Amino acid sequence: MIDGHAFLGKSIYMEQSSDDIISKMDNLGLNATVVTAPPPGPFYEEANNLIRERAIEFPDRLIPIFRTNPYLEGETDRVRIALTDQGFRGIQLDPKNDGYGVGYKIMNPIIQIAKDLGVPVYIHSGDSIFCPIEAVADYASSFEKVNFITNFSQRNYKVVMNKNNLYLMTRPFPTLMFKRGNMMSLNIDKLIFTSDAPIGNLELELKRVDLSGLEQEAKDKIFGENLKRLIDIH
């Protein structure tokens, strides 16, 4: 069982340590957590260094994702080094907090690196003029060899239906939609369990899955099998 997206570090919005994450995983039966630096930016060097250090300390439990701001000079070089030499296994983009729109040309060199190296791109969407889900879907169509992972909403799941390279993080988990049968048109293979802790609550998200009525085969996909197709998990 894998939590596909959580925050590690401290910002004005939140704080969560590696000990916090490991303790919660042990108590709740999770094997690993994908971790990235918390917003806001615009600078993430120290936060990414912390992610790297903690991932080295807990190599089987923490899966590091490199948070990047494409506005920064020399950022493409830093992204490539992070993915090839420093153990990071994906990229995190946050247009809302870093002040650019999905599809801006400044994104392209970083996405090209993701394409070259075969790593996924987490991209925030859904609650800002900078990153509507429609723009994320259009952008994903321009880079069909890159797998994008973005936020879930009732609007989002309809948009991604025909996008083979676009996946949805489940927080908040759509328990009632499953129980009411409203999710039958969505491919389970496109969902990735995430807590977004500490913004979200891992225990609550796990409970929402339990209450959804999903068969174990579907749960296995959402809890890790889908993510393992996209990311290098040792």
CA distances from residue 142 to 58, 148, 156, 162 in whole angstroms, order as listed: 36, 11, 18, 14
* Per-residue confidence (pLDDT) for residue 14, from 0 to 100: 95
* Per-residue confidence (pLDDT) for residue 117, from 0 to 100: 97
* Per-residue confidence (pLDDT) for residue 121, from 0 to 100: 98
CA distances from residue 69 to 43, 79, 95, 99 in whole angstroms, order as listed: 7, 10, 8, 9
Instruction: Tell me the C-alpha distance between 52 and 46, whole Å.
Output: 10
The structural domain count of the chain equals 1
- Per-residue pLDDT tens, the chain, 234 aa: give them: 999 999 999 999 999 999 999 999 999 999 999 999 999 989 999 999 999 999 999 999 999 999 999 999 999 999 999 999 999 999 999 999 999 999 999 999 999 999 999 999 999 988 778 888 888 989 999 999 999 999 887 666 667 767 889 999 999 898 888 887 766 667 889 999 999 999 999 999 999 999 998 999 999 999 999 999 999 876
Torsion sign across C-alpha atoms 83, 87, 88, 90: positive
* Per-residue confidence (pLDDT) for residue 179, from 0 to 100: 81
What CATH number has the domain bearing residue 171?
Answer: 3.20.20.140
Q: Which domain holds residue 206?
A: 2-228
Confirm whether 223 is domain-assigned. Answer: yes
Instruction: Tell me the C-alpha distance between 79 and 85, whole Å.
Output: 10
Confirm whether 234 is domain-assigned. Answer: no
Instruction: Tell me the C-alpha distance between 48 and 79, whole Å.
Output: 11
Confirm whether 163 is domain-assigned. Answer: yes
Confirm whether 233 is domain-assigned. Answer: no
* Per-residue confidence (pLDDT) for residue 52, from 0 to 100: 98
* Per-residue confidence (pLDDT) for residue 219, from 0 to 100: 95
List the one residue out of 55, 46, 140 whose CA is nearest residue 93: 140
Confirm whether 6 is domain-assigned. Answer: yes
